[in-house]
Amino acid sequence: MTEEQDHGQTPATQGSRIDAYVDRYAARATGMVASEIRALFAVASRPEVVSLAGGMPYVTALPLDMVGELVSDLVTRRGPVALQYGSGQGDPHLREQICEVMRLEGIEAGADDVVVTVGSQQALDLITRIFIDPGDVVLAEGPSYVGALGTFSAYQAKVVHISMDDQGLVPESLAQTIYALQAAGNTIKFLYTIPTFHNPGGVTLNAARRQQVLDICQRAGILIVEDNPYGLLGFDGDPMRALRADNPDGVVYLGSFSKTLAPGFRVGWALAPHAIRDKLVLAMESAVLSHSSFTQLAVGQYLATQPWREQIKTFRELYRERRDALLDALDDLMPTGVTWTRPGGGFFVWATLPEGLDSKAILPRAVAERVAFVPGTGFFSDGSGSRQMRLSYCYPQPDRIREGVRRLAGVIEGELQLRDTFGTATPPGHPGVDTPGPDLA
């Protein structure tokens, strides 16, 4: 008897007990892989590292005492409701309040068409679950939000990217891609788009293009999923008009309190045409029965009793100052040949490195120099983005942002010298001189 058999293991089930079941996973589990951002979190959160990587809202800017009192008051006054199960669609009063928030972006909607979800991430999951069969096509900007790509991949969707420029998604590219895909017999289930203050692109779809995108999708019979967590975080002027405002029947709108209040409440929502709304509620019930009554009522209480518009203004000013710090530092310190977007709101700048440089390959060096960013490839489903990187300015203080850019500029300068001396910079897959360890695996 071999040692394995002695322990009740056949060669096929050697290893840990969990390993033994790997071959039993459903096919869709293959698409569930950790994002590049996840792998980065451990390194980027070391105090000596300036993290331009994560997209964490600066919740410290909230009056936390007020939040504490509000929560305590909620339990004391409405405990039996707040601590009870709720409805699958979400608290009716909160849904009314959500409609008031959406009115700031030109949306006229009734509370009946809103489904409250566990962040807009869950809304993305539910919408994908009810629409996608394996192999169906989802159109998405290239680059696109990494969390949405992860969800699409988990449901075995085929993501086809549409190009973007400084004015957002390019309508001609959208029209051509739809034509080519449909001619080849593909089923396109929806266009997933982040029209305002794009993550990671940092750009906004201009007003003329909004109408074009709506027209193209309407003509082709393609549903639009408009993901808009940053729409109220613009630095200049009034909020942009949402796509949903001009086509209630052809757009599912996703919103969130994660950036305008705090992600810890995990309150987001979907606004959908009636039939889709019904399916979303069923999918919601199947996933979680009902969202937490407690956090829904807490958000409702916050909106009812606190100056939430003023708080959004505070966030906008804070993020504007940080955006300025990042853009000024990039202008002052980055070597020639590096380019980047200039966001009018939101959290992110999208930078492109000169020819011959690979952002993933230089990340270990950057971390060794105590600065982190997210390499561009994580934001594409087709392996593009190797010369690009996402830089976020939402979390570090302005002086830290400048220091981070100084360190990053030094690393890129070094890469350019390598490239110019040896004809190649650090190649992709090269561990780098100062590999920071398994965290980046």
Residues within the interface to ligand PMP (CB under 6 A): 55, 119-121, 145, 147, 194, 199, 227, 229, 256, 258, 263, 268
Q: Which residue has the tokens 């992860």?
A: 150
Environment class of 39 (CB within 10 Å of its CB; exposed 0-12, middle 13-18, buried 19+): middle
Q: Which is nearer to ligand PMP, 283 or 338 (CB)?
A: 283
Measured from the CB atom, the residue of 55 and 171 that comes closer to ligand PMP is: 55
Amino acid at 229: P
We find the least distance from the C-beta atom of residue 441 to ligand PMP, in angstroms, to be 23
Based on CB atoms, which residue is closest to ligand PMP, 99 or 374?
A: 374
Closer to ligand PMP by Cβ: residue 199 or 388: 199
Query: Nearest Cα to 151, choosing from 120, 128, 117, 131?
Result: 128
Minimal distance in Å, beta carbon 141 to ligand PMP? 10
* CA distances to 112, 124, 318 from 30, in Å: 37, 19, 40
Q: Cβ closer to ligand PMP: 120 or 381?
A: 120
State which residue, 287 or 368, has the beta carbon closest to ligand PMP: 287
Nearer to ligand PMP, 57 or 404 (CB): 57
Radius of gyration of the chain (CA): 23
Two tokens at 408? 């990053």
Q: Give the H or E element holding residue 215.
A: helix 207-220
Smallest separation (angstroms) from ligand PMP to the CB of 230: 7
**Cβ nearer to ligand PMP, comparing 229 with 396:** 229
DSSP code at position 132: P
Residue 110's identity, in one-letter code, is: G
> Residue of minimal CB distance from ligand PMP?
119
- Report the candidate in 254, 257, 299, 271 with the shortest Cα–Cα distance to residue 122: 254
Q: How far is the CB of 263 from ligand PMP (least distance, A)?
A: 5
CB 260 within 8 A of CB 302: no
Q: At 259, which helix (H) or strand (E)? A: none
Q: Cα-Cα-Cα-Cα dihedral of 393, 101, 74, 306, to 10°?
A: 70
Rounded Cα distance between 239 and 111, Å, is 21
Q: Rounded CA gap, 365 and 363, in Å? A: 5
Q: What's the closest the beta carbon of residue 119 comes to ligand PMP, in angstroms?
A: 2
| Pairwise CA distance, residues 266 & 430, whole Å | 39
Q: How far is CA 50 from CA 193, 252, 397, 402, 437, in A?
A: 30, 37, 10, 9, 17
We find the least distance from the C-beta atom of residue 72 to ligand PMP, in angstroms, to be 24
Closest distance to ligand PMP from the beta carbon of 37 (Å): 9
The phi, psi pair for 295, rounded to 5°, reads: -75, -30
Query: In angstroms, what is the minimal distance from the CB of 255 to ligand PMP?
Result: 8
CA 420/CA 425 separation, integer angstroms? 8
What 3-state class would DSSP assign to 201? coil
Kindly tell me which of 44 and 409 has the beta carbon lying closer to ligand PMP. Answer: 44
Residue 318 Cβ, how far from ligand PMP at the closest point, in Å?
Answer: 17
Give least dist CB 18 to ligand PMP, A.
28
Which residue lies nearer to ligand PMP by CB, 196 or 301? Answer: 196
